[in-house]
Amino acid sequence: MEIGYNYLPADTLVDVANPFLAELAQVTGETTNLTGPDGLDMVYVARFVAPEFIPIHMSIGSRIPLYCTGSGRAYLSALPAADAGQILEDSERQAHTRHTLTELTDILREIEASQQRGYALNAEELFLGDMSIAAPILGSQGLPVAAVHGVVPSSRWTLEEAERKLAPAVIECARAIRASIRTL
């Protein structure tokens, strides 16, 4: 934990992203997060919790799998296909809910759709009642360095509403963070 707490203040990406994440949370009224890759997982590095908190608590440092989460798929969608495929093959693709995609071809199809849309989806694949819309944050080399995602509960949102209302704001947040990183 000490290493993790020392890392967070030193990470420029978190400092740059925080105002944009806060604005996204304010505009959408929902929880927003920044996650970064670590092996086969994404790790929460920043989080702004909405007033109507979702009962799933993901603290800073929590890990989620790349293959079945919005932020993981957003990150994978911006990698070269061979790299994304290798990560998926190396992943232990287990079902967390009845909605979790575990077949490699199904996940690859969803990642391809994410590339075309510019954002990734997660509809109750990791936790029941939890949906997310995520976009990759690209570094100066055009490769992903992190992902931003908004989380919405299925009790208040449909996936279609989340795509229509939340996706544009999430994409804009990711682009703003990327632009700010380039100025550093």
pLDDT, residue 130, reads 85
Say whether pLDDT at 2 is over 90. no
Say whether pLDDT at 4 is over 70. no
Say whether pLDDT at 28 is over 50. yes
pLDDT, residue 100, reads 92
The stretch 69-96 carries a mean pLDDT of: 95
Computed over every residue of the chain, the mean pLDDT equals: 88
Q: Tell me: the pLDDT tens digits for 39-77?
A: 999 999 988 887 766 666 777 888 999 999 999 999 999
Q: Which percentage of the chain shows pLDDT scores above 90? A: 62
The stretch 92-115 carries a mean pLDDT of: 94
Please, are residues 122 and 73 in contact by the beta-carbon 8 Å criterion? yes
pLDDT, residue 58, reads 72
| Lowest mean per-residue pLDDT among 8-12, 113-117, 139-143, 172-176 | 8-12
Q: Report the half-sphere exposure of 157 (CA within 13 A, side-chain side).
A: 26
pLDDT, residue 160, reads 87
Cα gap 66→87, rounded to integer Å: 8
Split into its structural domains, the chain has a count of 1
Q: Domain containing 147: what range? A: 2-182
pTM of the model: 0.88
| Structure tokens belonging to residue 140 | 């100066």
**Residue 65, beta-bridge partner list:** 41
Q: What is the CATH number of the domain that holds 79?
A: 3.30.450.40
**Residue 33, beta-bridge partner list:** 47, 149
Say whether pLDDT at 31 is over 70. yes
Q: Which residues does 121 contact at the CB level (< 8 Å), separation at least 6?
A: 70, 73, 110, 114, 131, 132, 133, 134, 159, 162, 163
Say whether pLDDT at 82 is over 60. yes
The kind and range of the H/E element at 124 are none
Say whether pLDDT at 139 is over 80. yes
